[in-house]
Amino acid sequence: MTVRTLLLGTALAVGLAGTAAAQDAVIRTGGTDAVFASQDTERMWEAVAYSNPLPPGAPTADYPLVAWCEAMVSGHVALGESLETDDELDLEIIDLGRAEERKFSRALEVAGPRQSPETLELAETAAASVRARWSRMMDQDLAARDETFGLFFGLPGRCEHAARRIRENITTPPATLADVGLEPPAAATE
């Protein structure tokens, strides 16, 4: 069993325990509002986020990834709005999505002038691909849209860190699991 598996299992157990204690409350699990106790904690979560694989079609470079993430969350918000629901949980999910959409959009706006034309093109291509998929879903009937809205599992954790990195113009590589002590360093080869 790897250290990462233990760490993620512990985080899941802690999260489930918190859920049992407050079953009727909405539990926020991070996001760009997450406040880290220290830079070491932030580095650790960044290393975990960057160590996990991205979904198929998601770009790996930070700026195009944030554009992809913004398109994912804005499409989910639009889908939720199309339901014209009065369900409190759905409305809260839509509101949280709008907040994330604004944060990603702001990061793209701040970092855009520093990007090369190639990076901007990659970002637009990634976002356009996501928007096209959401557009096809918006053409579905109410039941299909409602089911899709409920099944959306959220964004990769890397989206939040990538947005922070481009917004703050962080150009150093993200920490690795080995850098933060969650995985032994690779053995030197001779």
Domain boundaries, the chain: 56-167
Question: What's the chain's Rg over C-alpha atoms?
Answer: 18
Compute how many other C-beta atoms are within 10 angstroms of the C-beta atom of residue 58.
Answer: 19
pLDDT of residue 7: 38
pLDDT of residue 11: 39
pLDDT of residue 114: 97
- 67 vs 181, residue with greater confidence: 67
Per cent of the chain over pLDDT 90 is: 66
Q: Is the pLDDT of residue 36 over 90?
A: no
Q: Is the pLDDT of residue 38 over 50?
A: yes
For the chain, give the mean pLDDT.
82
Q: State both tokens at 35.
A: 């406040």
Q: Is the pLDDT of residue 14 over 80?
A: no
pLDDT of residue 3: 37
Q: What is the mean pLDDT of residues 121-139?
A: 96
- 147 vs 21, residue with greater confidence: 147
